[in-house]
Amino acid sequence: MNLKILKTGMLDSIQDSGRLGYQQFGINPGGTMDKYAAAIANILVGNNTDEAVIEMHFPAPAIFFDQPAMIALSGADFSANINGTQIPLNHAVIINKNTTLQFHTPKNKSRCYLAVKGGVKISKWLNSYSTNLVAEAGGFLGRKLLKDDTLELNNSTNTYNLKDTDDFKILPWSANEDFGIQYKEEFLVMPGSEWDWLDKASQEKFLKNPFFISHNSDRMGYRLASEPLHSATKTELVSSAVNFGTIQLLPDGQLIILMADHQTTGGYPRLGNIISAHLSILAQMKAGDKIQFKFTDHQTAENLILKQQQHLTQLEIACKLRLENYIHENYRH
Amino acid sequence: MDRLPSYKISSLGETALIIDFGNTIDESINKLVHSLFYQLQNDPIPGMIEAVPGYSSLTIYYDILFIRNLLNKQTTAFEWISESIKKFIPKENIETGDPQILIKVPVCYEIEYAPDLSFIASQNKISPDEVIYLHTSTDYHIYMLGFLPGFAYMGMVDEKISSSRKQKPEFVEAGSIGIAGKQTGIYPFRSQGGWQIIGRTPLKLFDKEKINPVLFKAGDKVQFYSITKDEFEDIKNRNA
């Protein structure tokens, strides 16, 4: 055993960048809600950006390590500490054997990502580590993590000999997670294929009114509360594919935004889609938060996600170099 | 279908686009969707991640980073995929290229597994036996998979056994066979569902241990046949 859950959190699951290629069978991509934060956590410990991470919500778990490890946290700040000493987000941290990672208070955001150098030793299901809770497959036994679950760390890919260390160190450099997101109080939205089903007044409301994330929101989708919108047509949509970020009009006039665990197809009108560069902001929002929509075009949406990718690539190069130098100076004799 | 229906391309966010042949449930249009789908499976457009067939639309998910690296700065990935897809859309109607497989599905229609069978019978003023007879006397076309892993949307059922959805979704057991409108389908998992349940199959529609965890694929044909409760238990135990 290398890592043990001492206390069950609200919903902690193994996720990666998603399970691609199986939507034709009704199997959704799933994966992390905040792909950007998960990538940063992985990059900080020198993993590939699609390595499995633990996605945590608050109340968060307590996690015991019986081996030295290099870890990083990114995303929500739940006031993490190692054996009582606070550790910051967006730093690589080297921990001793027999240490416990705990979380005290949720300070901001909704989802915190834990990356461990080398990843955890679990097998992929359909080419992905992501937990599919509906199919009870993938991740750790196809379910959320529970008290007493133990996970082995992948030491085979651990190129640094951390076992010899007896240290607790917060590595001095950090990743700036705000750069690359480019969100200015409004979610940029691409118009959806059924946008013109809305009557004129509702189209105006969609672009003007605030919408509030309701409590009835989870990894599958966020239900929004607002003044109801109305379809100008009685036509029903035959089932067709949807996407992470698709905004659907429900029969009661309210909206739902589909999130990482969305079903592959749906029959509600698709009014728009949040651009992927903004999904990580949305993934970190909470019930009661206010959101507003603004239309954008393909060029802008594509350029923003490319920019975010470039930022991650630069970060990856910089972190690899720093990490190698640091390990060289401190651990190789 | 003599003439090809016209189509419309729209975006599903900047990471996917929909080729829409009209909002309709029509087997010949659906076969056109499958023909396009299987062509793309065999000969994917560079940068395509996956394609998903719907009733009358095909959705293509693509990798913007990969595509934009191939292109000059002015062209978007959307424009490029929209353009690349055109050569795959057949100029005239062709039979779907993928061989159709007929899958025979045993169904126990006894009351214990068929809570809504008598409702459908009385709604349509026929006997429960007639419902079973009509449900088992046709091959059904699988239009698409969606909703749950392995859930196949099939049709069309005879007008005399068609039925509206339930007002409120209820929990249904894995293997339950439902009818909604003229569609029929099987729930692979215990889940919430709004279709009228007329029987249950002992077959495992989803098995995560298998390389192909899902029994059906879009374009397959399904034939239901009636079995007794004892046969249901036998098959179930053999598959367990």
* pLDDT for the residue A1: 65
User: What are the mean pLDDT values of chain A's consecutive 10-residue runs (333 residues total)?
Assistant: 93 97 97 97 96 98 94 97 94 93 96 96 97 96 98 69 69 84 89 97 98 96 97 90 97 96 95 97 96 96 94 95 88 62
Any bridge partners for residue A212, and if so which?
A: A225, A290
User: pLDDT tens-digit profile of B32-70?
Assistant: 999 999 999 999 999 999 999 999 999 999 999 999 999
Q: Which residues in chain A are contacts of B59 at CB distance < 8 A?
A: 240-241
CB contact under 8 A, B189 and A134: yes
Mean pLDDT of all residues in B198-206:
96
A204 shares its domain with A277: yes
Residue A29 falls inside a structural domain: yes
> Is the pLDDT confidence value at B118 over 90?
yes
CB contact under 8 A, A135 and B208: yes
**Residue type at position A47:** N
* pLDDT for the residue B44: 94
Minimal CA–CA distance to A327: which of A84, A90, A45?
A45
Q: How far is B139 from chain A (nearest CA, A)?
A: 20
* pLDDT for the residue A137: 97
> Is the pLDDT confidence value at B93 over 70?
no
Residue A315 falls inside a structural domain: yes
DSSP-derived secondary structure for B86-121: HTTS-SS----SSPP-EEEEEEE-SGGG-TTHHHHH
Cα B113 to Cα A321, B125, B205, B232, distances in angstroms: 63, 21, 17, 10
B219's torsion region: left (phi>0), alpha (psi -120 to 50) or beta? Answer: left
User: pLDDT tens-digit profile of B125-179?
Assistant: 999 999 999 999 999 999 999 999 999 999 999 999 999 888 888 999 999 999 9
Number of H helices, E strands in chain A: 4, 22
* pLDDT for the residue A76: 97
**Domains, in order of start, for chain B:** 8-86 (3.30.1360.40), 102-239 (2.40.100.10)
> How many domains are contained in chain A?
2
Q: Which residues in chain B are contacts of A27 at CB distance < 8 A?
A: 149-150, 213-214
CB contact under 8 A, A298 and B18: no
> Torsions phi, psi of B75, nearest 5?
-90, 135
Interface size A-B, in CB pairs within 8 Å, comes to 151
A16 shares its domain with A94: yes
A74 shares its domain with A199: no
User: pLDDT tens-digit profile of B131-140?
Assistant: 999 999 999 9
A7 shares its domain with A143: yes
- Name the packing angle between helices A298-331 and A35-44 (round to 10°): 20
* pLDDT for the residue A45: 95
* pLDDT for the residue A157: 46
Mean pLDDT of all residues in B203-211:
94
Residue B151: closest C-alpha in chain A: A26
CB contact under 8 A, A265 and B144: yes
Residue A301 falls inside a structural domain: no
Kindly give the pairing relationship between strand B221-227 and strand B152-155: unpaired
> Is the pLDDT confidence value at B73 over 80?
no
A19 shares its domain with A59: yes
CB contact under 8 A, A25 and B217: yes
User: In terms of residue numbers, what domain contains A147?
Assistant: 3-179+311-331
**Residue type at position A223:** R
A101 shares its domain with A170: yes
Which among A21, A27, A275 has the least Cβ separation from residue B13? A275
Residue B51: closest C-alpha in chain A: A24
* pLDDT for the residue A300: 95
* pLDDT for the residue B96: 55
Which among B14, B23, B50 has the least Cβ separation from residue A20? B50
> Is the pLDDT confidence value at B91 over 80?
no
- Helix H, strand E, coil C: the string for A212-281 is EEEEEECCCEEEEECCCCCECCCCCCCCEECCCCEEEECCCCCEEEECCCCCCEECCCEEEEECHHHHHH
Residue A302 falls inside a structural domain: no
Which residues have C-beta within 8 Å of that of residue A213, sequence separation ≥ 6? A222, A223, A224, A225, A285, A286, A287, A288, A289, A291
A68 shares its domain with A197: no
Mean pLDDT of all residues in B82-110:
82
A207 shares its domain with A169: no
Query: Mean pLDDT for chain B?
Result: 92
C-alpha A60/C-alpha A44 separation (Å) is: 21
Residue A305 falls inside a structural domain: no
A172 shares its domain with A223: no
* pLDDT for the residue A178: 75
Residue A304 falls inside a structural domain: no
CATH number of residue A217's parent domain: 2.40.100.10
Read off the pTM.
0.95
Residue A121 falls inside a structural domain: yes
ipTM for the predicted complex comes to 0.95
A239 shares its domain with A326: no
Q: Which residues in chain B are contacts of A241 at CB distance < 8 A?
A: 12, 16, 18, 52, 54, 57, 59, 146
A155 shares its domain with A194: no
State the burial class of residue A271 (Cβ atoms within 10 Å of its Cβ: 0-12, 13-18, 19+). Answer: buried
Residue A303 falls inside a structural domain: no
A26 shares its domain with A156: yes
Which among A26, A126, A306 has the least Cβ separation from residue B145? A26
